[in-house]
Chain A
């Protein structure tokens, strides 16, 4: 069984500043995939970034990057140059290599202050 833990229920960041959202996971699978999804007030579910566990290089997507620490089972999301549009609930999720079920954390609400 897999579990995903997001220990920060809420975070705040000043516009243009950098914020890091934490995520830890537990899985018995040897290979798996990790994701961050964004859920804005519209309640859409938008993919932010994806990381393959077999890759040592941290994934980046424009202002979004991850710090993937496989041994520690940690997968944090860094948002640089925060914008008002980044305000949302962020979910961390894990998918085993041969699985089909995404397992989500409880989410972190990110507030961006102008």
Chain B
């Protein structure tokens, strides 16, 4: 079946603007995760959802970052008042269930803040 999809694939914005990044997980996957990956580094955890419940947001860098998954499927990561340091690849992953199941990643959204 279809894998994890993310949109947009590329986003260029000006400093101070808000951006919304979308993730559509694999159908039937209960858990959804957001990671951020700087160039030349491994992904770092931001937050995750089990169904619609956000169960861990300890990786969100500050209160400009928020995420939601209102119906337990599609998720949106929102960054308010973007700063240049927010530029990175934002990756979404989903797994069939919480914990031990393999996380499958989407293609990522490359965010550039000018």
Residues of chain A touching chain B, judged by Cβ–Cβ distance below 8 Å, are: 4, 33, 35, 37, 42-47, 50, 91, 93, 95, 97-107
Does B23 have its Cβ within 8 Å of any Cβ on chain A?
no
> Does B45 lie within 8 Å of A101, measured CB to CB?
yes
How far, in whole Å, are A32 and B31 apart by their CA atoms in the complex? 18
> Does B42 lie within 8 Å of A105, measured CB to CB?
yes
**Interface residues in B, total, Cβ within 8 A:** 27
Chain-A contact segment, one of B12-20, B65-73, B79-87, B94-102: B94-102
A101 interface neighbour in B40, B42, B59, B91, Cβ under 8 Å = B59
> Does B48 lie within 8 Å of A101, measured CB to CB?
yes
How far, in whole Å, are A101 and B48 apart by their CA atoms in the complex? 8
Name the residue on B nearest A100 (C-beta): B48
A104: B residues at CB distance < 8 A: 42-44
> Does A44 lie within 8 Å of B100, measured CB to CB?
no
Knowing A93-B42, A100-B48 are in contact, say whether A43-B108 is a contact too (CB < 8 A).
yes
Q: List 6 A-B contacts (CB under 8 A).
A: A43-B108, A43-B110, A44-B105, A93-B42, A97-B100, A102-B43
Does B55 have its Cβ within 8 Å of any Cβ on chain A?
yes
Knowing A43-B108, A47-B102, A97-B99 are in contact, say whether A106-B59 is a contact too (CB < 8 A).
no
Name the residue on B nearest A104 (C-beta): B42
Q: Which of B35-60 contact A (CB under 8 A)?
A: 35, 40-45, 48, 55-56, 59
Name the residue on A nearest B107 (C-beta): A44
Does B78 have its Cβ within 8 Å of any Cβ on chain A?
no
How far, in whole Å, are A107 and B106 apart by their CA atoms in the complex? 18
Closest 4 CB pairs of A and B: A104-B42, A45-B105, A101-B45, A100-B48
Name the residue on B nearest A32 (C-beta): B100
Knowing A91-B42, A104-B43 are in contact, say whether A45-B48 is a contact too (CB < 8 A).
no
